[in-house]
Amino acid sequence: MIAVNLKNTQNNQDSISAKLADLRDLMADYDLDCYFIPAVDEHLNLSVPAAKQRRAWICGFTGSAGDLLVGKNSAWLFVDSRYYEQAELQVNTGIIHLSKLGLEGNLSLIETLEKLAAESAQKSTKIRLGFDPFTVATEQYQNWVKRFATAGIELVSIRENLTDKVRSQTAETLPAIDGSPVFSLPASLTGETAAQKLARVREAMQLAKIDVLPITNLNQIAWLFNLRGSDIPHIPIFISYAIVTTDSAFLFTNPDRVSAEIKQELRADVTLLPYADYPRRLESCVNLPKKVRVLLDAKHSTAGTYQLILNQQEAQLYSIEIVFETNPVEGMKARKNPVEIEQMKSANFKASRAKTLTLKWLTEQLENGKLLTEFDVKETVETFYQQETDFQTLTFRTIAGAGANSSIVHYGTPSPEITLKPGELLLLDSGAQYLAGTTDDTRTMIVGEPTALQIEHYTTVLIAHINCAVQQFPKGTTGSQLDAIARAVLWQEQLDYGHGTGHGVGAFLAGHEGPNGISKSVQYPLEPGMVTSIEPGYYLPGWGGIRIENLYVVIAMPSKNDAVWYGFEPLTYIPFERKLINVDRLSKTQLTWLNNYHAAVVEKLAPVLDAATIEWLKKACAALGRI
């Protein structure tokens, strides 16, 4: 049994059909053949407020990624391998076609549109694709413009979000998206004041000869101004825009939720304005009696912002040049300063203790014959997180998948009805936000005694993790290069996993941040101060899943030559599952790393544990050797 909510299936089906019908009526008003509904909101967040969960509301799929295309008579949901199982469970495929990206015969969004355009061309007509430009990344929009220019697809940018209009016609009352208070972090936690960060940003702008820098990414804004909020689930950020010029900085949010004290702090360096003023102020910033160079981060800005600038570009007597580069804030945010690193170490120490206490509790409960559910595990780890000082919220919804559910990569609905059964795997992926630090880690455990196949697959994933964790690499090495190193041992057994090997992690910000990461697609080099996860896995529907995840900070390594070398220092200290390790498969280097890691777990955690827990921990971390 899978713990995804599928109750009232007929009612859900009728409701979805009705919503799609209402949307198609609006599409007809704009003479649209298709309407695009992405997973993201106006700031390209994958985790969005309830009021902005448009795709989930209209089709029922709650995964954090996956786009919906609604046509006149059909609809398509596009998901990657992380969500194959979840989408099958949540989407009525009699109403919505499910496209599993990466599988043969499953078309992408662009391929689907081109197929529709080819069919329409036989009737000598084009298809009109409608979209809200503020929910489409500039990069995606530019790709569409280039790709669709000769494909018979007309792009129709509509500032009125049609899904929102359909939703407004229902009796549903949506919560406010910008009502929660904004709070500030002192430099003792961030390592720099907002004024110092703005000075660094302007230095980067000056080097690139940039006059105006619009910022639409909420993590970048929160980091830059040392402000946090709670508008987005599990991420301490707030709905806002920002603009930095050579001599001014503007922050756009609901002024009523900013205290008088914070307003006073900001006054010398930042002008606080209402959220709705962003378009007009951006237009005035680029509308100057001189040539203006505007930096636009195509990945993190929306087509809506791009179009605002294009409109001014067409209307002005003076030149407006758009420079497409990565926002300098993105790299600054990723390269943690010494204070931020210490805060990350402190937060992950707390999370490691909480997860270790959970593993001890789990072991003892099972040994005593206690019947446990996925929900019990979720509640226990979250309770231990909350008992640590400076706990703020979870980093994401806890993933506690037992048995077959462990193969659902982002399984976030632990059930009080699904019990932990002997011989089954339990995958526990969780994290907590502490003041100034973000955490994320995963352990896979066995209930009772494992099978030979479970041991072999777990050991393979562990070797992949260790191979990446021990790897030294020269300056300039990208995440894609390290991703291949991690996967190599799985590939030798013709195994693989559909997600990246690692993702960047913010400092009391998002659990997933760029520009760094370890995956097939990341071409950004890893640099000292960057925090990344290492989390290889293996998943087989019906059998179960394995993932092993730690967080690491990139550090400089002693060099034996004139080159600059980097490596990884662990932030996470939690025991691995001894029952699932085939020691004979580990090389000398791998075994040494494992034993040293477990020794470090005991050394770091023992001083803050009671005697009984220390005894358990020492057994869990006892050195492994060859039989």
pLDDT tens for 162-196 read 999 999 888 788 878 888 999 999 999 999 999 99
What pLDDT, on the 0 to 100 scale, is given for residue 562?
87
In 208-259, alpha helices (H): 218-225
- What are the structure tokens assigned to 349, written together? 């120490």
Cα Rg of the chain (Å, integer): 25
CA angle at 124 for the pair 120 and 127, rounded to the nearest 5°: 40
Q: Is the per-residue pLDDT at 139 higher than 90?
A: yes
DSSP letter assigned to residue 213: E
Least confident of 63-77, 98-112, 159-173, 452-466: 159-173
Q: How far does the chain reach from its first CA to its final CA, in angstroms?
A: 39
The closest alpha carbon to 546, from 423, 461, 419, 456, belongs to 461
Taking each helix axis from N to C terminus, what angle separates 303-315 and 138-148, rounded to the nearest 10 degrees? 70
Q: Is the per-residue pLDDT at 387 higher than 90?
A: yes
Is 107 buried (19+), middle (13-18) or exposed (0-12) by CB count in 10 A? middle
Bridge partners of residue 561, in order along the sequence? none
Distance CA 401, CA 444 (A): 10
Phi-psi label, residue 190: left if phi above 0, alpha if psi -120 to 50, beta otherwise = alpha
Average pLDDT (443-458) is 98
Q: Is the per-residue pLDDT at 129 higher than 90?
A: yes
| C-beta neighbour count of 321 within 10 angstroms | 14
Distance CA 201, CA 198 (A): 5
Greatest C-alpha distance within the chain: 80
Distance CA 278, CA 309 (A): 12
Mean pLDDT across the chain: 94
pLDDT for 59-96, tens place per residue? Answer: 999 988 999 999 999 999 999 988 898 899 899 988 99
Average pLDDT (289-318) is 90
What pLDDT, on the 0 to 100 scale, is given for residue 3?
32
Say whether 272 sits in a helix, a strand or coil. strand
User: What is the dihedral angle through the alpha carbons of 288, 290, 296, 302, rounded to the nearest 10 degrees?
Assistant: 30
Average pLDDT (450-478) is 98
